[in-house]
Chains A and B, each alone.
Chain A
Amino acid sequence: MKNHKEEEIWIGGKDLGSDPEFLKTAGNEFTDTPLYETMGEATESESYKTDRRDFLKYLGFGLGAATVASCDIPVKKALPYVVKPDTIVPGIPNYYASSYVNGGDFCSVLVKTREGRPIKIEGNSLSSVSMGGTSARAQAYVLSLYDTNRFKGPIARDGEKGFAASTWDAIDAAVKSNLNGNSRIAIISNSILSPTTKKAIARFKSSFPNTKHVSYDPVSSSAMLLANEATFGSKVIPDYRFDKANVIVSFGADFLGTWISPIEYARQYAKNRVIKDVDNASMSKHVQIENGMSLTGSNADNRILVKPSQQGAAIAALCNLLGGSGSGPSLPKEIMDSLRVLADELKGARGKALVVSNSNNVSEQILVNKINDVLGSYGNTISFAHPSMQRQGIDSDMNDLIADMNAGRIDAVMVYGANPAYDFPGSSFADAFAKVDFKLSFAQSNDETTALCDYVAPDHHGLESWGDAEPKLGHCHLIQPTINPLFNTRQAQTSLLTWAGEKLDYYDYLKSNWTQNILGGGSWDKALHDGFHNSGASYSAGAFSANVGNALSNVSKPNSSDLEINFYETVHMGNGQFANNPWLMEMPDPVTRTSWGNILHVPVKFNGVRKFIGFNDLEDGDTVTLTVNGVAQTAVVVQQFGQMPGTVSLSLGYGREVGGKSAVGYGTNVNPWLTTDANGLTQYYATDVAVSGKTGEDDDFASVQYHHTMGVKDVNTAGEEVVADELATGTLVKGFEGSLTNRSIIRRTHIADVKEFVHHLHEERHHFEHLNEQTLYPYDEYKEDLYDQGHHWGMHVDLNACIGCGACTVACIAENNVPIVGKHEVHRHHEMTWLRIDRYFYGDADNPNTVYQPMMCQHCDNAPCENVCPVNATNHSSEGLNQMAYNRCVGTRYCANNCPYKVRRFNWLDYTTADLWPSNEPELTKSDELPFGADNLTRMVLNPDVTVRSRGVIEKCSFCTQRIQSGKLVAKKEGRRLEDRDVRTACQTACPTGAITFGDTNNKKGQLSKKLRSPLNYVVLEEVNTRSSVNYSAKLINKIEKLDA
């Protein structure tokens, strides 16, 4: 559908379709909901009227209270250490190498601690697996340490009264009296990466020989394991090398966001997507075959839309096109045409191609292996030398266990780090679980499974424990504690060993296991310092051999249903493991830009007259009844570009019933809808689907998609193209210098056109420069005067490297004490994030391409916000920083209104309870509950170098000024010039792909200066003469044009 200009970019149906209501609000900085509505539940708007007498009362009280409050200067105590540990200097952070592990999720990290308190996670650049990258989940890991929902100690069920506090002795005694050498015990866990934990379980088994260990994954990759066993004789997941592939084809695998080892893959992927030399530009091609737009799909050059039930047939067809001889199920002609083009591309990239799939059907995975074998991927882009251990679970093992439990063949179950009552498909687990006599959980906080248990032996948090992880064979990483256990918890491994009759410290156990089996004579201290040790262990798999014909006939059959649904994992929520973490709950889904709940993606359709209509006439925020396999639930809808017609998508991980404040009551639980195939493997789609028409509206629909838009194009009554802002603010004459028309937000091109594009870009930038020079205040002169010595901070963002994963946004929250506001507040456009990732679509509205643009304060040297502040609370530093003095701010919000990038955030309410007046807190939460993060436990995560803002002030990205200041101090102390490594912003260090570079533009030898010389660079809204300090390099794609034809 080519109904729009080629140049057009859009964020959603509302702006592409010029929804008048949206255009009206887009021009305003703040939504102007009526006062009584913003005051929450108030139905009687009367009660919010203030009359003269009340006013005088408040005035009098205010004056009086201020006087009283300030007369009494509180006496503050300073408690020094009794015996100061010599490694701690108060005020100076210590970093410890450790690992973030959650089931199969892995990231090697450095934990920043202040006075013995972990406050921030950084990537460990030494690690051979995550290579310094992090994910949003890894960044948010530190908050889960201070989760108020954590168990404070061991717990036992006390009859019908429910859980009651217990003691470790009582738990040990209960285990001893209930279990003996003959007990049939099952340990349920997710994939365990830790070799020493496996050893501890084996030790437990030696005391309790009838123990079996069943592992499954919340989002299963069982079929891959079984397919590799069938074709190579080894039940492992091989080592994929996306950096070595020139053509990447993914059948639904979200390898940049959630699939197996996304941090590692993202880094590899970006290596081949970043343009290093414009004259000889080259990048890999990436084709995604899927129905709903995944994070990886949104980064692809081409997407081939197939229904979930057609995916198997598509794999079979591609296999046949590449030289197979069998026959698979038939597919629509346009899909076959696309696959033919794709097959040709792949053939041309033999040895440099990589095909992956998230299919959980063994036959389909065998065919994927066959395709890779035909293309010569094994030994080139895929290796078995260091296979991934990040997925080990076989779904059918759990089904066998459920059958055993139902048959009474299990006496005791211990649940370690898993939540099968919630995330195991279907609802059979809970019923079977109830038949077990002795049920124990190691959970750190309450969840659906733990709630069914008799005993809880809470495990330490990972930041409190010793441990190890081997995400890839031979790549062994260590976990070391960075804080004393906060609560009366005990490490699960210690519990297992204690019950097995061992009396030892888990640290000794770990160390002796490493010395004997892993280090091979290497130094323990070095491994602990680096966080890992590569033992050199490797593996060799057999040659490819499989019954392809059999596989071809066993792929899932396309369904003729009108509507299909697929269930997918999001980058922040997994399958619900992270629901207790408000940082992740409030992080918008990168593609839909919705937070606090899973939203049903429905396709949109063009009505022929600049209007886009959702499936069933549904609009964003409508609630519907979604019926899958005959079971109905309510879901909230969002219109999603790139969603295949005839399909809808809904994410896993929401609708938790037992959990913390941020977990329960948000979204729809899809796990009961999941079914298994003939092999007992979970299938993440359904074909028996019905979506009703609109049944209502979500009052707190928390989508940030249309918040903080930077100017939306429209056509005015005279037929001229203008920006929505102008409709609201009056009309500017077209061509007026520095006017807001033709905004330069996203620059993009096809790699084949890059030279022409660069020429055009430079012409245009030159034109802007010419316009901007027409001023009484020539920039170059005052720049030379003010900024050409010392430091001038700047940033470069490579849009080709940015995959939109959102690790930077969570890192920013952690570093800068950005408050979490909750669903209702997000709904009211009050989200506080300093760094947002804007998602724009372009190209074909039916199957668009996507650009992610991290948008933070641009630190303009000619900042529009600065000269409108009546109290000079925001002003410019000699180092080019746009400064914000919170204590000077009186909250006029003129600056936010005047910011063309829409990056300033206002503390509408007292989100942090930092305010002097407790009365400023109401209506934020129900009853006397504190806002998120305002309790004393969660406050331990705050960065002590950054002020916690209170109500009524504006805040925004500071370029991590606290890091700049401390970096400068380090250089001064060492008596040397400042170097790149001294100052790295939180977003920069979090990024798995290295998309963000921060530095001193006056340091001509630095990384930043090098990046600033790229001819692809542009400045967002350069035409408005803000003199921004952030450069973006244009987004390039390597689209296979024939696939679109």
Chain B
Amino acid sequence: MKSRSTGPALGGVEERWADYPQEDLYAWIRNSSSLIDAGHPRATELWNEWKPTVMQAFNELTDDDIASLLTYIQGVNDGTYPPQVAGTPGAEVTVEQNNNWIYYVVFGILSILALFLTRMISNLGRIVTKEETGVLQPSKTIVESLTSKSVISFLLFALVLIGGYTTVKNGIAWGRQQNYAPEQPIKFSHETHAGMQGIDCQYCHDGARRSKHAVIPAANTCMNCHSAVTKGSLHGTAEISKIYASVGFDPNTLKYIDNYENMSEDEIAKIYKKWIGDSYMSDAGVESLGREGERIVKEQWDGIVSSLTSDLKPSVYGPIPWTRIHNLPDHVYFNHAQHVSIGKVECQQCHGAVEEMEILEQYAPLSMGWCINCHRETEVQFVGNEYYNSYEKYHNELSDGSREKVTVEDIGGLECQKCHY
């Protein structure tokens, strides 16, 4: 918006074209090439600066469309768009009705009733004993009855039962990491990429359709876009520079750096500090870094170093050490291709609404029960894949109507050695 990438910044476009009639700007947006060919002075100036890159032609845009676009650009550029919602958010959220107190009241009444009844029974017992023996035994105090053997043994029993249940229940869940959302070396936002930009999951996770691993994309996959998109919408240069430092791309010149793997840390630091500093100055519109600028440069460079290096890898060059979120135990075999390409399962079914996650977290429990349940319910994509023709009986049953569907379970999807070998 404010910075130049493959072409001039969008913000302020109207000011830059203010010297010319509005029609010229509209014509320029619709079809820049024709304006260049026509020899328009502003168009020629831009062409000389950016050639051979030309903007795509949008001949179908009406004047209204272009006016709306320009208003939007103007709005975003000066911060008046999107409009702020009036009032504090969440003020109108109603407090949910909580009905639990009823249970407590009922429990209380019942306990008092139980106490009352026991007293009555014990008193009646005493009366009976008195009738028989003529001796009135002293009545037990509440403390005495609460510390009686039967109550204590009941409590112990209940404790063991509840304790055992909790232990086993938590024991089964040991090692599970549902909602695990660790901090990553790069504040990569799936919300931005998959949500706002609408990039297909499998553009980056290209293993999912053909391999057992979905694959964390290599840094050169990031570079497909980020060789042009040099600044992030949320973190500016702070995060994207980490990719550059990892692969050795100089954002100052938009070129890969020769012999990067042999460069010293100082040489590397110089390149990226310059980039961060220059970007700061152009964004802030200042001529020198100043104290704030220096602080930002230091902070961002330190961030690059701490994210990309470790005891085992002293240089920032090399792979980005992502923290693995979805960890299956070693004895589990899972194949993405089977589920994505054959089963046609949506990524979101197991990974949740990733396109809404600013910080990625583990959506599913990844427990065996969770897998098994899905295998019980999911229908096999029987039709159209000749592989499944070997299941003649099911095909016959489906065609004569005696079977509604074939689930993964029906073709052996619950068997141990489908996942454990």
Q: Which stretch of B15-23, B24-32, B126-134, B320-328 is in the interface?
A: B320-328
Q: B44 within 8 Å of A by Cβ? A: no
Q: Hey, which chain A residues are within 8 Å of B331, CB to CB? A: 886-887, 947
Instruction: Flag if A78 contacts B210 (CB, 8 Å).
Output: no
- The smallest C-beta distance from A145 to any residue of chain B, in angstroms, reads 23
- The smallest C-beta distance from A786 to any residue of chain B, in angstroms, reads 10
A89 to B336, CA, bound (A): 13
Instruction: Flag if A79 contacts B321 (CB, 8 Å).
Output: yes
Q: Hey, which chain B residues are within 8 Å of A958, CB to CB? A: 417, 421
Q: A881 within 8 Å of B by Cβ? A: yes
A223 to B415, CA, bound (A): 60
Instruction: Flag if A82 contacts B211 (CB, 8 Å).
Output: no
Residue of A nearest to B393 (CB): A789
Q: B337 within 8 Å of A by Cβ? A: yes
Q: A1002 within 8 Å of B by Cβ? A: yes
Instruction: Flag if A789 contacts B394 (CB, 8 Å).
Output: yes
Known: A73-B177, A91-B207, A886-B331. A789 touches B391 (CB 8 A): yes
Most A CB within 10 A of own CB, among B216, B385, B417: B417
A946 to B393, CA, bound (A): 32
A89 to B317, CA, bound (A): 22
Q: B246 within 8 Å of A by Cβ? A: yes
Q: Hey, which chain A residues are within 8 Å of B69, CB to CB? A: none
Interface digits, B402-421 against A, CB 8 Å rule (1 contact, 0 not)? Answer: 00000000011001111011
- The smallest C-beta distance from B216 to any residue of chain A, in angstroms, reads 4
Q: Hey, which chain B residues are within 8 Å of A946, CB to CB? A: 421
A885 to B416, CA, bound (A): 6
A946 to B420, CA, bound (A): 9
A857 to B148, CA, bound (A): 62
How many residues of A are counted as interface, with CB atoms below 8 angstroms from the partner's CB atoms?
A: 51
Q: B247 within 8 Å of A by Cβ? A: yes
How many residues of B are counted as interface, with CB atoms below 8 angstroms from the partner's CB atoms?
A: 55
Instruction: Flag if A80 contacts B417 (CB, 8 Å).
Output: no
Instruction: Flag if A90 contacts B322 (CB, 8 Å).
Output: no
A881 to B174, CA, bound (A): 31
Q: Hey, which chain B residues are within 8 Å of A76, CB to CB? A: 323-324, 327
Q: B212 within 8 Å of A by Cβ? A: yes
- The smallest C-beta distance from A801 to any residue of chain B, in angstroms, reads 28
Q: Hey, which chain A residues are within 8 Å of B322, CB to CB? A: 77-80
Most A CB within 10 A of own CB, among B216, B389, B412, B421: B421
Residue of B nearest to A74 (CB): B327
Q: Hey, which chain B residues are within 8 Å of A875, CB to CB? A: 415-416
A75 to B310, CA, bound (A): 14
Q: A513 within 8 Å of B by Cβ? A: no
Interface digits, B327-366 against A, CB 8 Å rule (1 contact, 0 not)? Answer: 1011101010110011000000000000000000000000
Q: A526 within 8 Å of B by Cβ? A: no
Q: Which stretch of A25-33, A546-554, A763-771, A964-972 is in the interface?
A: A964-972
Residue of B nearest to A789 (CB): B393
Residue of B nearest to A78 (CB): B324
Q: B398 within 8 Å of A by Cβ? A: no
Among A83, A885, A978, A1002, which residue has its beta carbon within 8 angstroms of that of B387? Answer: A978
Known: A77-B324, A789-B390, A971-B387. A82 touches B318 (CB 8 A): yes
Residue of A nearest to B417 (CB): A883
Q: Hey, which chain B residues are within 8 Å of A884, CB to CB? A: 416-417
Q: Which stretch of B85-93, B218-226, B289-297 is in the interface?
A: B218-226
Interface digits, A994-1009 against B, CB 8 Å rule (1 contact, 0 not)? Answer: 0000001011000000
Q: Hey, which chain B residues are within 8 Å of A1003, CB to CB? A: 390
Q: Hey, which chain B residues are within 8 Å of A82, CB to CB? A: 218-220, 246-247, 317-319
- The smallest C-beta distance from A869 to any residue of chain B, in angstroms, reads 11
Q: B287 within 8 Å of A by Cβ? A: no
Instruction: Flag if B391 contacts A947 (CB, 8 Å).
Output: no
- The smallest C-beta distance from B280 to any residue of chain A, in angstroms, reads 27
Interface digits, A740-751 against B, CB 8 Å rule (1 contact, 0 not)? Answer: 000000000000
Interface digits, A926-960 against B, CB 8 Å rule (1 contact, 0 not)? Answer: 00000000000000000001111000000000100
Q: A81 within 8 Å of B by Cβ? A: yes
Q: Hey, which chain A residues are within 8 Å of B207, CB to CB? A: 89-91
Among A73, A791, A887, A977, which residue has its beta carbon within 8 angstroms of that of B389? Answer: A977
Residue of B nearest to A914 (CB): B330
A81 to B219, CA, bound (A): 7
A945 to B330, CA, bound (A): 10
Instruction: Flag if A90 contacts B219 (CB, 8 Å).
Output: no
A72 to B249, CA, bound (A): 38
Interface digits, B194-212 against A, CB 8 Å rule (1 contact, 0 not)? Answer: 0000000000001100111
- The smallest C-beta distance from B294 to any residue of chain A, in angstroms, reads 30
Q: Hey, which chain B residues are within 8 Å of A879, CB to CB? A: 412
- The smallest C-beta distance from A559 to any residue of chain B, in angstroms, reads 57
Q: Hey, which chain A residues are within 8 Å of B412, CB to CB? A: 790, 877-879
Residue of A nearest to B256 (CB): A83
Among B213, B330, B411, which residue has its beta carbon within 8 angstroms of that of A90? Answer: B213
Q: Hey, which chain B residues are within 8 Å of A977, CB to CB? A: 386-387, 389-390
Q: Hey, which chain B residues are within 8 Å of A78, CB to CB? A: 216, 321-324
Instruction: Flag if B324 contacts A84 (CB, 8 Å).
Output: no
Among B323, B329, B411, which residue has its beta carbon within 8 angstroms of that of A77? Answer: B323
**A-side interface mostly:** loop
Among A881, A947, A969, A978, which residue has its beta carbon within 8 angstroms of that of B335? Answer: A969
Q: Hey, which chain B residues are within 8 Å of A965, CB to CB? A: 333, 335, 418, 421
Most B CB within 10 A of own CB, among A75, A77, A78, A90: A78
Residues 871-897 of A contacting B (Cβ, < 8 Å): 875, 877-879, 881, 883-888
A557 to B145, CA, bound (A): 109
A1000 to B387, CA, bound (A): 13
Q: B215 within 8 Å of A by Cβ? A: yes
Among B320, B342, B411, which residue has its beta carbon within 8 angstroms of that of A80? Answer: B320
Instruction: Flag if B387 contacts A75 (CB, 8 Å).
Output: no
Q: Hey, which chain A residues are within 8 Å of B182, CB to CB? A: 75
A529 to B183, CA, bound (A): 45
Q: B384 within 8 Å of A by Cβ? A: yes
Q: B267 within 8 Å of A by Cβ? A: no
- The smallest C-beta distance from B286 to any residue of chain A, in angstroms, reads 35
Instruction: Flag if B420 contacts A90 (CB, 8 Å).
Output: no
Instruction: Flag if B210 contacts A89 (CB, 8 Å).
Output: yes
A949 to B335, CA, bound (A): 21
A946 to B332, CA, bound (A): 10
Residue of B nearest to A881 (CB): B417
Instruction: Flag if B385 contacts A975 (CB, 8 Å).
Output: yes
- The smallest C-beta distance from A322 to any residue of chain B, in angstroms, reads 58
Residues 50-96 of A contacting B (Cβ, < 8 Å): 70, 73, 75-84, 89-92
Instruction: Flag if A978 contacts B390 (CB, 8 Å).
Output: yes
- The smallest C-beta distance from A1006 to any residue of chain B, in angstroms, reads 11
- The smallest C-beta distance from B58 to any residue of chain A, in angstroms, reads 34
Residue of A nearest to B319 (CB): A79
- The smallest C-beta distance from A156 to any residue of chain B, in angstroms, reads 28
Q: B217 within 8 Å of A by Cβ? A: yes
Known: A89-B210, A885-B416, A969-B337. A80 touches B391 (CB 8 A): no
Instruction: Flag if B387 contacts A975 (CB, 8 Å).
Output: yes
Instruction: Flag if A888 contacts B416 (CB, 8 Å).
Output: yes
Q: Hey, which chain B residues are within 8 Å of A978, CB to CB? A: 387, 390
Q: B258 within 8 Å of A by Cβ? A: no
Q: A697 within 8 Å of B by Cβ? A: no
B residues at A contact (CB < 8 Å): 174-175, 177, 182, 206-207, 210-213, 215-221, 246-247, 317-324, 327, 329-331, 333, 335, 337-338, 341-342, 384-387, 389-394, 411-412, 415-418, 420-421
* Interface CB pairs A-B, < 8 A, 6: A80-B218, A790-B412, A887-B420, A945-B421, A961-B417, A968-B387
17 further A-B contacts with Cβ under 8 Å, apart from A84-B220, A972-B385, A975-B385, are: A76-B323, A78-B216, A78-B322, A80-B215, A82-B247, A91-B212, A875-B416, A877-B412, A877-B418, A883-B416, A883-B417, A885-B420, A887-B329, A945-B333, A945-B421, A962-B421, A978-B387
Instruction: Give the 10 A-B CB pairs with smallest separation, nearest first.
Output: A91-B211, A84-B218, A883-B417, A81-B218, A885-B416, A91-B212, A878-B412, A78-B324, A91-B213, A79-B319
